[in-house]
Chain A
Amino acid sequence: MANAGAEFERFATDDGQRVRRVLVARFGVDAGNDVTDEAMAYAWEHWDRVRSLANPVGYLDRVAQSAARRHARWRRAPRFPPETSAPAGIGEPGLPAALAALKPVPRTCVVLVHVYDWTYEETAAALGISTGAVRNHLHRGLRVLRSELGDER
């Protein structure tokens, strides 16, 4: 049990951060943190199984989506923090509102690839989709963002 505890601590530190980034991108800051805690608790309770998975981040993303469906407070509109380096004097809705308006999967792809600099392959693995699907979601997500932000050049 002591070894399992140390192993899980390492997992929670390393992969736990990746899980949190996926879920914050998908659900926003508040619900994303909540569902990550729920997913990590699940991971510890089922550690014998989770530790042997090839893609535990993707698995816990699916666990979190199931958990989120059961809790109304996690289905609210996602909250994203203000953008401190927003261009001055632009009367647009702002990046946080534009991100919140995207559908969950395109938003998750945009945040993981363009905010957190994940590769298409890392993003595809975490979301359990193909790299082609990541490319399509990014294309659509960025087109909506450009439109919302008046950035269509």
Chain B
Amino acid sequence: MTAELERRLRAYRTDLDAAVAGDREHSRTPVADARRRR
């Protein structure tokens, strides 16, 4: 793997984490949901 691709993949973590967190703000809370179902 080239150093440039390695750098891009490592830097992409910030974008991916932010997108996951943003998407979760609009979704249900799994633990609370699960507790209701149990």
A contact residues vs B (CB 8 Å cutoff): 5, 8-9, 12, 16, 20, 24, 29-30, 32-34, 36-38, 40-45, 47, 80-87, 95, 110-111, 114-117, 142, 145-146, 149, 151, 153
- CB–CB A115/B10 < 8 A: yes
Q: Please provide the chain B residues from 2 to 32 with a CB less than 8 Å away from any CB of chain A in the complex.
A: 2, 4-6, 8-16, 18-20, 23-24, 27-28, 30-31
- CB–CB B13/A116 < 8 A: yes
- CB–CB B11/A45 < 8 A: no
B contact residues vs A (CB 8 Å cutoff): 1-2, 4-6, 8-16, 18-20, 23-24, 27-28, 30-31, 33-35, 37-38
6 inter-chain pairs at a CB distance below 8 angstroms, sorted by A residue, are A24-B16, A33-B27, A83-B8, A83-B11, A116-B13, A117-B10
Contact of A85 among B8, B20, B30, B33 (CB under 8 A): B8
Contact of A146 among B2, B10, B14, B31 (CB under 8 A): B2
A-B interface pairs (CB < 8 A), number: 94
Q: Which residues of A contact B11 (CB under 8 A)?
A: 83-85
Chain B contact residues: helix, strand, loop or mixed? helix
Residue of chain B at shortest CB distance from A13: B31
Q: How far is the CA of A44 from the CA of B1 in the complex (A)?
A: 40
Q: Which residues of B contact A82 (CB under 8 A)?
A: 15
Q: How far is the CA of A52 from the CA of B1 in the complex (A)?
A: 39
Q: Which residues of B contact A5 (CB under 8 A)?
A: 35
